[in-house]
Amino acid sequence: MAVTQGHGNPKWTRDETLLALDLYFTLKGLIPSPKAPEIIALSNLLRSLPYHAEAAKQPTFRNPDGVGFKLMNLRQVATGKGLGNVSTMDRQIWKEFGEREDEVHTLAAAIRVGIAVAGAEQLPEIEQELCEGRLLTALHVRRERNPKVRKMLLDDRRSAGLRCEICDLARPDLKEPLQDAMFEAHHLVPLAEAGERKTKLADLALLCACCHRLLHRAMVLKTRWIGLVEARAIIVPG
């Protein structure tokens, strides 16, 4: 296999590595030539990721040779055979998903949809990357920040009184603009499961800004999705 000339390329991200693991599982661990259509297709997909627009201008970025090497790295982590130059990300993803092939296929399919949905649009900057990877996290944050979605949720809950669904914080003494500013919309369904369907009220929870941030941080630390019941147990003192 040819040596890549990708020195200086960005490190492989979590979602890129998930896409590579998806192909590794599909190929049953048998790694073909860089000229194989599966390798070329993944190379093209990785080069289309919206947050790699600048890097993709370089022909060495995620080229078929580089994709082939990544699959060999994953094989080494999985079997102990092959190249030894594996990254921390390779080991981390295998530790989390090496025994969860079906979930990897689901996540990879969602990432592919996310690439098509994002297109060339500017995605929001993210501080905390969820277990689904950078792209789906950015799309998740974009949905939660959608002012129409947030207004829909606030209007629905206003008659019963605005209250955080984790810590029960409420400030009915505040006038509407200030009271509204305390709360954010949280999507209860991961993007990998919900896709890009139209958001429904049943998909949303009303959280104070503090609990919303803590919940996202907890999901980052536990590298999995956390529901409201578990979030209350983690965030609210017993």
Average pLDDT for 95-118: 90
Domain presence at residue 196: yes
Average pLDDT for 17-38: 96
> Residues 132-185: pLDDT tens digits?
888 888 888 888 888 898 999 999 999 999 999 999 999 988 888 888 999 999
142 class by beta-carbon count within 10 Å (0-12 exposed, 13-18 middle, 19+ buried): middle
Task: Check whether residue 177 and residue 225 sit in a common domain.
Answer: yes
pLDDT of residue 6: 46
Which residue range forms the structural domain that includes residue 164?
134-235
Average pLDDT for 171-200: 81
Phi and psi at residue 60, to the nearest 5°:
-80, -15
Domain presence at residue 4: no
Average pLDDT for 220-238: 90
Domain presence at residue 3: no
CATH code (residue 163): 1.10.30
Domain presence at residue 126: no
pLDDT above 90: residue 19? yes
Task: Check whether residue 88 and residue 143 sit in a common domain.
Answer: no
> Residues 50-70: pLDDT tens digits?
888 888 889 999 999 999 999
Domain presence at residue 170: yes
pLDDT above 90: residue 76? yes
For the entire predicted model, the pTM comes to 0.78
Q: Which of 94, 118, 142 represents a domain boundary (last residue)?
A: 118
